[in-house]
Structure 1
């Protein structure tokens, strides 16, 4: 698929012969529900802005990009991405994606920046900025819910992970976000294989030490946005916002292998443990509840146990 920057550069270079093509590209850019502008990378002169930008920021006049789009700026923005768009030979090095809160209107934007060649051969920056203020608001609400849950003593005292109550409180927020923004959501469940044997052989103090070690391994592997909890005796669950099934499987396998490779020394005796995993994932969660997804993940966990343990089973939910 041809990229928009390629179309612009190609069309600009042949503008004399391809006026209709240039006009068509501009029409497309003006129809997008995102701010698009092109600025010279040396002078910061605005070379193109689309209609969306004009509606939000007005006519640019002779303003440079930092004068037009930001406020209280006495020079080029300290957060300008120009230096991230070129390699050591001053050649374009691909797309740079970042998020930013605009200083003029306070809105959050996801920006896709790229260096391309303009009509005269100079390097310019094209930026496509999509308003993600609603998504950020949901993320902030989730973070507020997370802090409140922690304040309500929702931490498992043995592992220092979230407990079952926190898992469900935060999980409902994640599913609301998934439904609103049509994002995939996944759940990983896992528990330790033959854990009763460890307790019976070594005692519950050793069993607790094993649970703590496994919790530490999982906590060191999950991402910041993931919600890891101990939901039962030796049962753990991870809620994965904006995560599809392949991504969830990759994370589950990383944790499973790390647990299997670990050895805990108790009185100089090595103790190893393995775990079985189950995954449920929905691309469009619809009316699914957190309990629904957890039950499906639990069924997949049972399949892993049935087929030999120390493995991962997964199911893609299609409501």
Structure 2
């Protein structure tokens, strides 16, 4: 009877340590730049096949001479100073992104310092092309900005919309000092429904655009004209007292009153009722300001329309005239 014996399997047999040529083969096959440069002289000591195909062989050159354009010395964005701690030991890998000056493509870089075989400290960088990702990110950012712009813009008049009005008012409250005045003007076009009913909605849209242009021409850069919706506009006037805001409202009223509208070859006039409210920023609660300006505007309507009425902000809770 015979017996069979087997030799024990060791870790070395199962998982032999990779040889230098195997490691080099791995580096040469990577779809990413890998290079090594002297931390002090910046001489490039190694660059893999990916890098050589795009930037050429080092041939004794500095890393910035191989990889960058227009450099007369080390790159301003070089991470070498960050790769060694105060105790001389390397910190964890530094990950950063930049756009290469030679090929114009974006790369995510992973940099680390290590000791070279001859004892000097070297920088090892692995750079992966992320251009497609960056392109998508930038397109998404532009799309988000455009979406936000549209969300705060009235399509017809291109004025800030109702949402932008509330945001603008809030920003003015944060910007002005408590003792500075803040005014609000509400504007409602008189008998606008009749324009739509008699002349058509296209004529009504034309009127709204012309009104926006007429009013904008009378305003200062810091004045904020918004379309709240329908035929109603609002005007936020930072650092403007009630007399000054009322004077401006009268100029807007006169500019509209004296302008002859024309649509489809037919001339016609449009008027508006304007309500003005103002107080100091410390007391300029938006709800109170809206109520005061609204009361003044409806007083203008109750008195025959086509005029300007104003009201100093009051804590009284008056009902709005119908």
TM-score between the two structures when normalised by the length of structure 2: 0.50
Secondary structure of the 2:151 match is coil
Q: Distance in 1 between matches of 2:147 and 2:175?
A: 18
Which of 282, 286, 290 is the aligned partner of 1:290? 286
The answer for the alignment partner of 1:154 in structure 2 is 152
Contact 2:178 2:281 in 1 (8 A): no
Secondary structure of the 2:237 match is strand
Q: Distance in 2 between matches of 1:150 and 1:218?
A: 25
Alignment of 1:276-315 (within 5 A): 276-282=273-279, 284-315=280-311
The answer for the alignment partner of 1:226 in structure 2 is 223
Which of 205, 208, 212 is the aligned partner of 1:211? 208
Give CA deviations for 1:164-221 in whole Å, capped at 9, x if unaligned: 101111111112233x342000001111101111111011110110111111101111
Distance 1:182 1:148, change over 3 A: farther
User: Any unmatched runs of 5+ in structure 1?
Assistant: 1-146
Alignment of 1:45-60 (within 5 A): none
Deviation of 1:299 after TM superposition, in Å, equals: 1.1
CA RMSD of aligned residues (A): 1.9
The answer for the alignment partner of 1:237 in structure 2 is 234
Alignment of 1:82-97 (within 5 A): none
Q: Distance in 1 between matches of 2:160 and 2:149?
A: 11
The answer for the alignment partner of 1:13 in structure 2 is none
The answer for the alignment partner of 1:185 in structure 2 is 182
Q: Distance in 2 between matches of 1:317 and 1:295?
A: 9
Alignment of 1:64-75 (within 5 A): none
Distance 1:159 1:262, change over 3 A: same
Secondary structure of the 2:229 match is coil
Which of 187, 191, 200 is the aligned partner of 2:197? 200
Tell me the matched-pair count.
Answer: 171
Contact 1:150 1:166 in 2 (8 A): no
TM-score between the two structures when normalised by the length of structure 1: 0.51
Deviation of 1:266 after TM superposition, in Å, equals: 1.5
Instruction: Please say which structure displays the higher CA radius of gyration.
Output: 2
Deviation of 1:304 after TM superposition, in Å, equals: 0.2
Q: Distance in 1 between matches of 2:222 and 2:208?
A: 22
Distance 1:287 1:184, change over 3 A: closer
Q: Distance in 2 between matches of 1:188 and 1:305?
A: 14
Which of 170, 173, 176 is the aligned partner of 2:174? 176
Give CA deviations for 1:137-186 in whole Å, capped at 9, x if unaligned: xxxxxxxxxx99963631100011000101111111112233x3420000
User: Any unmatched runs of 5+ in structure 2?
Assistant: 1-144, 316-322
Alignment of 1:242-281 (within 5 A): 242-281=239-278
